[in-house]
Amino acid sequence: MPEEPGGELVEEGSFRVDRSRLLEKLQAFQLKEPKQFMTPFLRCAAASGATRAEARDLDSPPGFEIRFDGRPFTRGELQDPYQCLLEKEKLKLRRNRQLAYGLLAALRLKPKAVTVLSGKGTERIELRARSLREEEFIPPEPGEDTVIRVRWSRWPKEFSFRSPCKVFTALNDVSDCLLPVTFGDWTTEPPSSAGKRPGDMFFKENAICGRVRRAELEAGTVREKSLVRLQALGVGVESLELDSEFAPVDATFNDDAFRLDVSQSSIVRDERYDRVKAIVKRWARELLKRELDVQAARMPQTGKLLLDPALLPYWKARLAGRDAWAALQTDWLRNLRDMLPAALTPAWLARRRYDLPPGARELHFDGLRTLWLRKTAEMILPAGQPLETQDELGRRLWDVPLFFDARGEGLSLKQAHAFFEPAQRLFFVRAPLPGAVNADRLVWITSSQDEEFLSRWFRLAFEMPF
């Protein structure tokens, strides 16, 4: 068998590739931004079964440290930390591969050294890597956690203005990291934790987990496409937009069986990737079921709150795409407080309160949910026509209150269509009139968004009843 260039014959039918050259090529192609070296280290922690991780910046000399619990590395694994990259990808080697990718990325930033400590007691070891060709074991520091440190003589240009932790949290949405990670003085909360924002729904299907929530507002309106943030080992990889065949959602989708391409920045398009759309759609339906239940239960109370003239501006602000807090009366002191850095804000100004009145916070979330349900209705129901769908959720969306009549009672698309059909027109009022004749058949336009939606839905111009 002729010898191929670039290889050394070690046994019949097998060649040893120049290891350093191969690692240099891998180093050049993985992670477009080497300052993202923290990403594979976090995946390594998750694959090691860690229950917590702590990342912090170091001084004198400058550097970065991440430590985590979980299964420690052995001397055999760290003897050649890159060997796993030269072997066929295996599930049992995924944490080794993530460690190796992290080392490759960190070494691109030309540190003095990268060290990996792991193990307990007499089995604790410390590997020091100065380059792809220079690694050695040194006497370890005591401890039990796995600790990875990157040290420089001085900060590289990538961290001239912001330290590694600040750069990483600025470039990545770590709020959905499945592993609790402490960055300085704050800790991320997994999506399933209590205290996450209202409207989140967590799901788990075997090795797949994540969360769905109503699609965010963009320029004051609900986005029509679903945005899915894909994760592997609990850390974000990439985002994709999906045409919403049902309700538009924002989702986080973690699958530890996702395969990453050589850049570690994209998921391989295979059968695991192809499952994403169907699973997100299924959980979008579950989210819609829950939101319809909440809407039906909340609208009577929402209508009562809107009868208070002091609270109506908060509802109008929310439906117009602004936070309910934007309806607070602003003054120059509040604007000054918002502009000043916390360290320069006088104590008396920091204590100045701009609290929402009772009921305004509830209207904020009621408005968000109502906007989302209206957008969903426009996407899946026939505008201005009798309902013909046999889909259970379509019928429930047709029946749930999305507007109010002149009494402040909930009004559904089904009811609005019944009012519209005889004369092909709707009558409305711009203020509640509980005692008016046929008040239950008058649409109360609580905001301009009500009028815009119904005008599109019924393709009409509104008419005043008086």
pLDDT of residue 351: 57
pLDDT 10s digits, 139-185? 999 999 999 999 999 999 999 888 999 889 888 878 778 899 999 88
- pLDDT band at 372; cut points 50, 70, 90: very high
Q: Say whether pLDDT at 332 is over 60.
A: no
Contact 213, 250 (CB under 8 A): yes
CATH of domain 19-159: 3.30.565.10
pLDDT 10s digits, 273-320? 999 999 999 999 999 999 999 999 999 999 999 999 999 988 998 888
pLDDT 10s digits, 192-240? 654 466 678 999 998 899 999 999 877 668 888 999 999 999 999 999 9
User: Residue 376 burial by CB count (10 A; 0-12/13-18/19+): exposed, middle or buried?
Assistant: buried
pTM across the whole model: 0.82
pLDDT of residue 219: 63
CA distance 291 to 377: 13
CA distance 217 to 195: 22
Position with higher pLDDT, 387 vs 411 = 411
CA distance 287 to 280: 10
Q: Say whether pLDDT at 25 is over 90.
A: no
Residues 6+ apart with CB under 8 A from 23: 82, 85, 104, 132
Which residue spans of the chain are classified as CATH 3.30.565.10?
19-159
Mean pLDDT score, 16-42: 82
